[in-house]
């Protein structure tokens, strides 16, 4: 997994954009060569923090497409601040990324 993110001031708020590299397997698809079911492997939670405080959180599931893109706007951070984004998947694997607000 890998998270690429950007954070940009839009007036008094910050627009955060994140692209998470993840296969997002539903557990319902079969391997075309073996016919075996491909085990579920998907992001379950994404948290965005500013100064160690969560400012945005969402739950995801198997219905989200491969390499999810997430965009949202938050109030509070200022130009030069750092925004951290982290994710956890159903296998307990974690990933994170950060962006400086421009």
Tens of pLDDT, residue by residue over 6-55, are 999 999 999 999 999 999 999 999 999 999 999 999 999 999 999 889 99
How many CB atoms within 10 Å of residue 70?
20
Tens of pLDDT, residue by residue over 56-88, are 999 999 999 999 999 999 999 999 999 999 999
User: Distance of CA 69 to CAs 4, 36, 51, 72, Å?
Assistant: 10, 29, 23, 10
CATH number, domain at 69?
A: 2.60.40.10
91: left (phi over 0), alpha (psi -120 to 50) or beta: alpha
Predicted confidence (pLDDT) at residue 1 exceeds the cutoff of 80: no
Q: How many domains does the chain have?
A: 1
pTM recorded for the entire structure: 0.90
Whole domain around residue 60: which residue ranges?
2-100
Please give the pLDDT value at position 99: 96
């Amino acid at each position: 997994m890998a998270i690429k993110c950007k954070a940009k001031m839009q007036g008094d708020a910050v627009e955060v954009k994140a692209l998470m590299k993840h296969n997002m397997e539903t557990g319902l698809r079969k391997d075309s060569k073996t016919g075996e079911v491909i085990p579920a492997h998907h992001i379950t939670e994404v948290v965005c923090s500013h100064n160690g405080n969560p400012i945005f959180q969402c739950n995801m599931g198997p219905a989200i497409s491969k390499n999810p893109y997430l965009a949202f706007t938050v109030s509070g951070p200022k130009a030069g601040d750092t925004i951290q984004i982290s994710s956890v998947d159903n296998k307990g694997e974690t990933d994170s990324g950060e962006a400086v607000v421009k």
